[in-house]
């Protein structure tokens, strides 16, 4: 079928659907929802059989849904309607939630239902639910709806069609007042829930030591205490604020400034002056993980395996984080274990350089340079590890340098459902580093390089394994994936072949170094990056600014909008082929 994805942005769910539908041989093109006229134009050019809208912030124009079946992905259970579905589900502590695929009609979210899925809720931030449970449910429901449309033998049912399981109803947009924190009376669980309901966007508006901010990235603290609302400690990026029955760590804040566009930054940076006199609460790397606190890097050992977790908000690896992670990695290497597993974070494995911190720096070029060198130091340490076997276990998505950091490990395991963006070009034609010129050809051969680096589109985990970019496809369910990573690591560490494996690894590294030293790869990559950062072409700085400031899209890039490419012809559908005709585009 010809499927047009109409979406506010090409976000993680749209990327997943794009890749899943393409893998099933549908002709998929993307139009970003910019204006009614632009959408109408896209429908005229592409002539879709179906429009799928995974993420919209406005209604689909009537001129479009009257002409073509338009399936809206609503992140709510059947009957639920309104623009803050997931926010309410988190705030109200729903035990089960779901995704409904319904047909666009005049009334918002009230059209007939084509498919749905439900899932048990997790006590976590909204964005994490969106990236896992909602994405899995939406993918299954959209594929089912497309199958039903293609079979042509299914009629969608009105949502209130005497179905006793329909539990949802209309809910207004959530206001800041609905999730405002009262530090004098809200307990830790309530504060957490309120912040979770607005994380990643729009955050919860709050005031800390006289600073108006939106708060994100909250973690419960079990041991520290203070007078409710007071700042009581800081650790790395986060500050700790007392509640009536405990405390909460806040990792990211977005200053509220009526005169300027702001973005999320480490709380310790936004409140630098206020925390100057606060005690720093350090946490040893291998501190027991059994109590609640804020730990963005953690290390545990089991069965001759060291597991290194780096759960950085949005997968962004600032210079400081890279350095702390390198220190933790060196500690892991110093241990009498045999295998090190790089676990990444719960939501993302890694998304490369911290573009927000670079944007906020006095000299973004200098900070980009420092950040990429810190990333390279980390990648180099992993590549040069000959005392241990290394595994990268990707439970969450990865992008740009984050993908190549994973390839520095000996083996790469990817959770089924993960979406990878193993390219840098979308960030203003960045050349990229992290030793990709050494790591990538080893995996995909010289001929495979362009397919990865020249392709600006997302890749499913299964495709990554198919093309040799990753080694193993792990189960889609998160617990099963972690069990799989543990088994893989433990088998490797305790298997009869370990000593031989290490011998081969050492020899191969020695030979590679002899052929061309790692230093040379780095110098060549960084020479190109230097041009990106300091050269005459400002593309990277412009792209980063637009990314960080969330500048609205003015057009859909051609690598997404196939129907807008010069000379594009709509593919001949089976129905047209049978009729013996070719399709022509109206002018």
Residues binding ligand COA (CB under 6 A): 11-12, 200-201, 264, 314-316, 351-356, 397, 399-401, 421, 424, 426-427, 430
Cβ at position 266, least distance to ligand COA in Å: 11
- Nearer Cβ to ligand COA (33/484): 33
Nearer residue to ligand COA within complex by CB, 229 or 315: 315
Distance (Å, rounded) from C-alpha 321 to C-alpha 313? Answer: 11
Min. distance of Cβ 322 from ligand COA in angstroms?
11
Residue 312 CB, shortest distance to ligand COA, in Å, is 9
Helix extents (H) in 154-279: 188-197, 267-270, 272-275
Q: What are 157's strand-pairing partners?
A: 113
Measured from the CB atom, the residue of 88 and 424 that comes closer to ligand COA is 424
Q: Which is nearer to ligand COA, 300 or 361 (CB)?
A: 361
Residue 356 has which token pair? 């927000």
Give phi and psi for 312, each to the nearest 5: -90, 135
Nearest to ligand COA of 159, 453 (CB atom):
453
DSSP 3-state of 117: strand
In angstroms, give the least distance from the CB of 574 to ligand COA. Answer: 33
Give the residue with the Cβ less far from ligand COA, 55 or 114. 55
Report in angstroms how near the CB of residue 345 gets to ligand COA at its nearest.
11
Report in angstroms how near the CB of residue 100 gets to ligand COA at its nearest. 22
Buried/exposed 42-70: b ≥16 CB within 10 Å, e otherwise:
bbebbbbbbbbbbbbeebbbeebbeebbb
Q: How far is the CB of 16 from ligand COA (least distance, A)?
A: 9
214 vs 295, beta carbon nearer ligand COA = 214
Phi–psi pair at 534, nearest 5 degrees: -115, -5
Task: Provide, rounded to whole angstroms, the least separation between the CB of residue 494 and ligand COA.
Answer: 35
Nearest approach, Cβ of residue 357 and ligand COA (Å):
8
Six-digit token string for 375: 């990333």
CB 15 within 8 Å of CB 534: no
Instruction: Pick between residue 316 and residue 333 the one whose CB is nearest to ligand COA.
Output: 316
Q: Which is nearer to ligand COA, 159 or 374 (CB)?
A: 374
CA–CA separation, 570 and 584 (whole Å) = 8
Rounded to whole angstroms, how far apart are CA atoms 542 and 309? 33
83's tokens: 């623009």
Kind and range of the H or E run holding 568? none
Tokens linked to 228: 């409710």
Distance, CA of 196 to chain centre: 17
Element (H, E) at 4: strand 2-7
How many residues are recorded in the chain? 587
- Secondary structure (3-state) at 323: helix
């Amino acid at each position: 079928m010809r499927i047009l994805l109409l979406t506010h942005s090409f976000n993680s769910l749209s990327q997943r659907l794009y890749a899943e539908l393409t893998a099933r041989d549908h002709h998929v093109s993307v139009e970003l929802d910019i204006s009614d006229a632009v959408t109408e134009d896209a429908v005229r050019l592409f002539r879709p059989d179906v429009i799928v809208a995974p993420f919209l912030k406005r209604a689909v124009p009537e001129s479009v849904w009257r002409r073509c079946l338009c399936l809206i992905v609503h992140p709510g259970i059947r009957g639920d309607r309104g623009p803050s579905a997931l926010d309410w589900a988190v705030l109200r502590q729903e035990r089960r939630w779901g995704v409904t695929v319904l047909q666009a009609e005049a009334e918002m979210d009230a059209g007939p239902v084509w498919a749905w899925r439900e899932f048990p809720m997790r006590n976590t931030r909204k964005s994490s639910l969106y990236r896992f449970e909602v994405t899995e449910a939406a993918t299954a429901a959209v594929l089912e709806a497309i199958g039903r449309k293609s079979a042509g033998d299914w009629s969608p049912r009105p949502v209130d069609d005497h179905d006793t399981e329909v539990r949802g109803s209309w809910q207004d947009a959530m206001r800041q007042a609905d999730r405002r924190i009262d530090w004098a009376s809200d307990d830790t669980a309530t504060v957490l829930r309120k912040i979770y309901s607005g994380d990643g966007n729009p955050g919860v508006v709050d005031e800390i030591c006289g600073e108006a901010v939106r708060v994100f990235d909250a973690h419960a603290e079990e041991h520290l205490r203070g007078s409710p609302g007071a700042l009581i400690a800081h650790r790395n990026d986060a500050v700790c604020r007392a509640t009536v029955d405990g405390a909460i760590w806040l990792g990211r804040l977005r200053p509220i400034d009526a005169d300027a566009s702001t973005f999320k930054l480490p709380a310790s940076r936004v409140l630098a002056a206020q925390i100057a006199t606060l005690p720093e609460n350090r946490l040893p790397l291998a501190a027991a993980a059994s109590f609640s606190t804020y730990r963005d890097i953690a290390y545990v050992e089991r069965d001759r395996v060291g597991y290194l977790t780096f759960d950085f908000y949005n997968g962004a690896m600032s210079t400081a984080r890279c350095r702390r992670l390198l220190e933790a990695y060196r500690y892991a290497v110093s241990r009498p274990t045999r295998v090190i597993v790089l676990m990444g974070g719960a939501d993302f494995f890694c998304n490369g350089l911290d573009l927000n911190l670079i944007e906020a720096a006095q000299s973004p070029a200098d900070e980009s340079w420092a950040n990429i060198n810190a990333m390279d130091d980390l990648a180099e340490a992993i590549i040069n590890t000959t005392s241990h076997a290394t595994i990268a276990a990707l439970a969450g998505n990865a992008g740009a340098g984050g993908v190549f950091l994973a390839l520095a490990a000996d083996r790469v395991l990817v959770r089924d459902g993960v979406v990878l963006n193993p390219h840098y070009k979308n960030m203003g034609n960045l050349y990229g580093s992290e030793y990709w010129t050494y790591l990538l050809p080893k995996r995909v051969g010289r001929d495979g390089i362009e397919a990865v680096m020249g392709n600006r589109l997302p890749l499913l985990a299964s495709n990554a394994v198919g093309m040799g970019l990753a080694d193993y496809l792990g189960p889609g369910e998160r617990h099963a994936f972690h069990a799989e990573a543990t088994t893989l690591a433990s088998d490797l560490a305790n298997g009869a072949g370990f000593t031989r494996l290490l011998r081969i690894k050492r020899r191969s590294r020695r030979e590679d170094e002899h052929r061309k030293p790692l230093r040379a790869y780095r110098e060549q990559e960084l020479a190109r990056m230097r041009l990106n950062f300091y050269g005459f072409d400002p593309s990277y700085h412009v792209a980063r600014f637009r990314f960080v400031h969330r500048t609205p899209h003015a057009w859909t890039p051609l690598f997404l909008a196939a129907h807008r490419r010069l000379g594009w012809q709509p593919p001949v559908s089976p129905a047209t082929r049978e009729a013996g005709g070719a399709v022509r585009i109206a002018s």
